[in-house]
Structure 1
Amino acid sequence: MFADPNVKRQDGSDILNVAWFGSFDDDAVELDATDPARNARLRDQLVHSLAALRPALSDPKIGDVVAGMLNLYDHRSIMAVGEQVVLVNWGALPVAATASEAAFAKHTDGTIGRFLQGDQSPRIPGKPWTARGLIEAPRREFESPLRTQTPAQGAGVATKTAETIQVRRPARLWPPALLAALFALILVYLLVPGNLIYEKEEAPDPTALAALETSNGELTKKLTMFTTELDKEACAIDRTLVGLPPLADGATPAAAGGANP
């Protein structure tokens, strides 16, 4: 979480350049510049990471050092690198933040204090100032309101709940009852005389039936004739059926090559 500082002097002058390095390989952006979903994940991760420092902050040997590391120069010192939160410019404060305890608390609230628990605070070496975090410490035990009720009160709650269920249960019958009434109305409408009118069946036309019978008779004759011709030898089939002139009496068709069959 804490980036590693690398301090170098600029060209032998009194100006110090600090470069911050970390082990995460991704582009670094300000935490407040991330999209809402990613911002929520990273903020939750930072809160849990800072909460894990509680034993170190209370340690008599390193507590002051860790508390001093929680000081950030500005809100842009909290960076997002991929899905990780990295702190840069830590352990440093602007001059205005060291003017008074109130200024220190205000500066902390705008930087790291947003993510600290209420029992955590950064500190300035040599000053007794504190700036408690803005997050309420989680309750260690979940207390249900039912634990403080007497047996009589508990029975009253149970009775009231049962009555509420009994009152609301009939409301669930409305959808099927409404559908049943709708189908009943449709059925009554269909059964009322006059709503369903069918056209009367007309008698068939005798002329059309006679023409149909004549056509069927002609087709039957042709089918019979074709069946009879198919049973004959090829040379004996009626030539007129295939559009050829009939043979002269006593003549026979010539076979291939001019030979008589």
Structure 2
Amino acid sequence: MARENRFFLLSSDLTGCVAVTHGGRAAAAQYGDFIARLEAVCGRDAAELFAEPMLPRGSPGSAAISWYGPLEGRPVEIDSIDAVARKPVADMLSRRLEALASAFADAQLEPLILACLNVASSRDVVAVGGEPILVNWGYLPQDIADDPARRLEHFSRTLGRFAPKLIPLAAAGLGVSSSEAAPEAAPQPPATASTAPQAETPAAPLLARKATTPAPIEFNQLETAPAGRAPLVAAAIAAVLLLVLLLPGVLAYPHFGDQAARDEFEAQRLRASNESLEAQLKALRKADETGVCRADNSAPVPEMGDPSKPAPNMELLPKPPDKAALPAKPGEPAQAATIAQLLEKSVVYVFVLEKGDKASTGTGFFISPTQLITNRHVVEDALDDQFIFIGSKALNGARLARVVAKTPPRQEDVGPQSDFAVLELAKPADVEALKLGPAPPKLSTAYIAGYPGFLVHADSDRIKFIEGLKEALQRGETDEQLAARRFNVPSVDLRYGRINNVMSSGLHETPIIVHDMQVAHGNSGGPLIDGCGRLGGVNTAFLADEHQVGNVALSVVALRKFLTDLHISFTADDTSCGPTTTEARPETPTPPAPSPSPK
């Protein structure tokens, strides 16, 4: 059964844990069959409690596992959520867990659900987009897995406290008495506004979570405004309020050596990000209170509170990229009509062959018909310039690219730093080149484009693209021959959202942009553009630690300095860009050929 789990949640290091098996196979390895049967017996909502695992090759308990879900967003441990915001999520979790009781009455499903209803710790019960989901299910700490009584205790501390009715069923399946659960592990009701979250008994070791980079691809093993507007504003208010409640306290940057400087930076980031979200909340509340219908939804809305502060210049409801019209520029040739069309014509998939028959992937974008920008780390391990390929729908295939400039190698313990590479084609391409604008302001609408690995890895067009490259390499084709071929190329992934913060960070005071659009491995080197289609940043870092994920781009300010210092030309556009006020312009149709004159 096809699932809709297309959003990356997290990766987990399974050190210290073992897979719970059924029929000699790890429970997580049976996800497809299990989830289809579970949905048929217990319903779709109950089935969607279980995040989809992307298992590594070999033993599923020996390496990191990536988890995916149907909703986009940062997973937040339920027990870490504010009590008021936690209650509706915990209530939903309880209902969906109790719906699983039907699975225990199914002779075929009962032993498998018993195996799957194990999580390594309470921290694996998370919320995404206000809905509960389980990660690291089907795994237990090593010292618990072989002892049925301890397994029952562990279940009572983790999932059993949200669904006490399942504890006797689990006990029966394990062949132990439910009274054997230790008193201190007795099931606790879901926390409410008046009850604090229950602390987990420290007897069982927690699963060590680490942000992990997906294993490199093995090239030789690749598989072939009107009345309806009010509810939208109300929904947006609720979403922003939830973001304020769930805002992470720390965005951890790796290799940031000076702890005092790091603490000061994090305090600054947290204050600025809170101010950003509070400003959005005030603007949305004001719009909801005034109830004024506008012809466009983009006029600035005054902030509530301190009247001395300027109103946030923000669109109440950012337009999706296919509805966001690009402003017409007098005297300039016609360009793409919408943000979506511009990004489809300017962004490319970067595929790099490395030593040991490995490959890495990333994203790039054109700044001229012959030159592109990506991240240095995407291409720095290439065998040589004969093994860096780009592809896109606009190119209608693939081209070879060579590195002509790059920033210095990464330094340790200095925090964020410039990470750019300039690629060049032998001949110009018929594409759209992005203009470099100023850094986008806080709260402004922004768009990103790229090829995140969790989406394109299983894309049939990507598989065909790589098959075509393999064939071209085996034939020893030149760049001209490569350009003449027609490749299936995956479509670029487009996101839209807001700029949360613009700041400098690290020893070199590198200018960065924090935004709210999901960034994953493979987005590296992709553009962040403003509502006028100008480059505002380059997505570079998927920053995660044990608790949170950050969506970060290097500011266009750093890229402009890099290119200027190397005398590499680019087109700049520093004109003002307020919230858009026009609907998407259709592309100019090609006029029909005139009818032949009668003879």
Pick the TM interval, shorter chain.
0.3 to 0.5
Larger Cα-atom Rg: 1
TM-score with structure 1 length normalisation? Answer: 0.45
TM-score with structure 2 length normalisation? Answer: 0.21
Higher normalized strand content (fraction of residues): 2
- Higher-RCO chain (CA-CA 8 Å, sequence separation at least 6): 2
